[in-house]
Structure 1
Amino acid sequence: MAVRSPKDVALLLPGQGAQHPRMAAGLYGHEEAFTHWMDEAFRLLGPDGGRLRREWLAEQPSPAYDDVTVAQPLLYAVDHALGRMLLEWGVRPVALLGHSVGEFAAATLAGVVDLADGMRVMRERVDLFARTPPGGMLAVSASLDEVAGLLRAGVYLAAVNAPRQLLLAGEREPLRAAARTLHERGSVCREVPARQAFHTPVVEYAVKASLPGWRSVRFHLPSMPLYSAYTQGVLTEEQALDPEFWAGQASATVYFAPTLTALLAAHDCLLVEAGPGNSLTMLARRRTAVTEGRSEALPLLPDRRRGDDADRHAVRAARTALLPTAHLPQEEAS
């Protein structure tokens, strides 16, 4: 479907579960801004930077790819670099909304934290979360009422992505038992690529242990409206400057659906998914504001890994939609 670029653009940034091998890697070495910010992220990751860069570019990454120690810093880096690329094109978002670690990337784009502090905190926290009990996340097509009986010891509501699209999380055995019950009921559910029970009390110890690192961050007021999927509205000045607010996100439920509702109530806009895949685009396209044409949704990248050429083609198409009068260099237009 052809996309008409409205005046207003809002960025959506995905989180854990959106990662896949070579996500956005087709842009590396081809999009100058994206390449610069990815290289800067790997530099700031210090001794781990080379290893994570190899994991990111590998055709067959290691079994640790979905672990917090790999997935989280790579998602943060890719979301941030894609967002920077858009900003350097001249896109000026009226709002930013991230999902899970995507909110931290959004905060970095909005100037709440700089990338150096962000990567330092990321390095510290992933080691802490890697030591939490083995767990996982489960995407479920069901309502809150339908899963209420499963939310007992060891299983928690991790995210509300749509009225009938939820994420459950917990330690492995309770989560597997919940999955068996859902399958017996005929409910559709699938495992999300994650090895930790993010957005649940299972990781609360790591949250508390990460607080000293968060308290050393230099926080700033956002330079553009930043919607939080933890408060379901625009981030306040107090929240933006509060290290406990940022640390606590890892164990708090993500309310993406009502937060997207609030954003679309405030803005008729083009929602651009600045991250791997198109999971947030698909959620947005089911909204009344989009189905009725008041707003639109556009992913920057293909729905899954489809090759480097597909990455570049998708980004060229997105740039044309966002900046229809912009001149493309000959090598990019070909």
Structure 2
Amino acid sequence: MSASRAERLPVVLLLPGQGAQHRRMAVELYGQEAVFTAVLDEFFECMGTEGAALRDDWLADPPDLDIDDASRAQPLLFALGYALGRSLESQGIRPAALLGHSVGELAAAALAGVFGLRDAARLMRERAVATADVPAGGMLATAASVEELRPYLHSDAGVDGVVVGARNGPRQTVLAGPEPQLSSVEKLLRHHGVSCRRVAARQPFHSPAMVNAVGRFESAFAAMELRPPRVPIWSTATGACLRREEATDPAFWAWQLAKPVRFWPALDALLKSGDFLLAETGPGQGLSMLARLHPRVRQGHCEVVPLMSPGAAGALRVHRAAVTRMKQNIP
């Protein structure tokens, strides 16, 4: 790809979800990037007492509570993705589209104006309450395709309650389900030589085990005004561009707790529509690694730029270098 061609690529923000979190993620930016800091402070204030505790825990070294628990990880992942997006906007970087993984799709919705920040803070509180009584479980990342995993999920050798929770790539499939069923599948896969590892999650998101949480979460959406997005959102719930009727439907958002994430189909559909600079707008570089597997990226038609370092160290340096690169796209 020539430099002149790269400079003209429209920007798409990739917003990560559960599993991307790590201790002191993006802490180096807090107090150094003005808009990022102000937006985070506004979000924490909107969350009230829980927001103050969340901020203190995020900034603590080490955190007082388990960063992998959804009650901590998901509000922080939402807040960081949203604050980074607003910070980019303040510097003239306006995305052509948004694509969020799981709770990252809620950050995309807020950035696109489907709901406001105060409503988003309420959603994060209600999401934590709705999922508090979900059975213990988790998620298992595998180096296998959906087809390769079917014998372990839909036959006599399979284990009830464990399903495909996310399609992240052609051979990057995440399983989800309650315990002890998930551990049984993990043991079975390892016995047959299938590489797998646990996702940093304590709950069985994107599986039927979450169904009882859907109703309460839907009530939170029903209590607010939902608007069509001002920026196209490529939904990982459907694998396609979000439609107006979906964006304004409380059930559409609530059922994302229990339905699988279709990150790869959504990314594939997006990249078939044009060439883009894909900017991972959140902690870590997990979505960047997945995006680099896509043929359009490997062939040089699209570029991938993570805004964060893989760990806590070097986050500010990597962020500022990425912003400099993205500013080259501004006319």
| TM-score normalised per structure 1 | 0.94
What residue number does 1:33 align with?
A: 35
Q: Does 1:167 align with 2:174?
A: yes
Specify which of 133, 136, 144 is matched with residue 135 of structure 2.
Answer: 133
SS in 2 for 1:66: coil
What is the deviation of 1:212?
A: 1.7
What is the deviation of 1:7?
A: 3.3
Matches of 1:153 and 1:295, distance apart in 2: 40
| Ranges in structure 2 where 5+ consecutive residues have no aligned partner | 154-158
- Cα RMSD, aligned residues only: 1.6
Specify which of 296, 314, 317 is matched with residue 313 of structure 1.
Answer: 317
Structure 1 residues 13 and 144: CA distance shift in structure 2, 3 A:
same
What residue number does 2:125 align with?
A: 123
Matches of 2:143 and 2:133, distance apart in 1: 30
| Ranges in structure 1 where 5+ consecutive residues have no aligned partner | 327-334
SS in 1 for 2:131: helix
| TM-score normalised per structure 2 | 0.94
Q: Does 1:88 align with 2:90?
A: yes
Specify which of 63, 68, 71 is matched with residue 69 of structure 1.
Answer: 71
**After superposition, where does 1:113-262 map in structure 2 within 5 Å?**
113-151=115-153, 152-262=159-269
What is the deviation of 1:5?
A: 3.3
Q: Which amino acid aligns with 1:45?
A: M
1:178-204 Cα deviation digits (max 9, x unpaired): 111111111111111111100011010
Which stretch has the larger CA shift, 94-103 or 208-217? Answer: 208-217
Q: Which amino acid aligns with 2:75?
A: P
Matches of 1:46 and 1:2, distance apart in 2: 49
Q: Does 1:280 align with 2:287?
A: yes
Matches of 2:302 and 2:8, distance apart in 1: 8
Does the aligned pair in 1 maintain the 2:69–2:201 contact within 8 Å?
A: yes
Q: Which amino acid aligns with 1:84?
A: R
1:237-281 Cα deviation digits (max 9, x unpaired): 100100010111111100100110010011201000001001111
What residue number does 1:56 align with?
A: 58
What residue number does 1:105 align with?
A: 107
Matches of 1:223 and 1:324, distance apart in 2: 23
Does the aligned pair in 2 maintain the 1:8–1:267 contact within 8 Å?
A: no
Q: Which ranges of 4 or more aligned residues in structure 1 deviate by more than 6 Å?
A: none
SS in 2 for 1:65: coil
SS in 1 for 2:122: helix
Does the aligned pair in 1 maintain the 2:13–2:281 contact within 8 Å?
A: yes
Specify which of 8, 17, 20 is matched with residue 18 of structure 1.
Answer: 20
Specify which of 81, 86, 101 is matched with residue 79 of structure 1.
Answer: 81
What residue number does 2:156 align with?
A: none
1:198-218 Cα deviation digits (max 9, x unpaired): 001101001112222110111
Does the aligned pair in 1 maintain the 2:206–2:258 contact within 8 Å?
A: yes
Q: Which amino acid aligns with 1:8?
A: P
What is the deviation of 1:63?
A: 4.4
Percent identity, please: 46
Matches of 2:311 and 2:118, distance apart in 1: 29
Does the aligned pair in 2 maintain the 1:107–1:113 contact within 8 Å?
A: yes
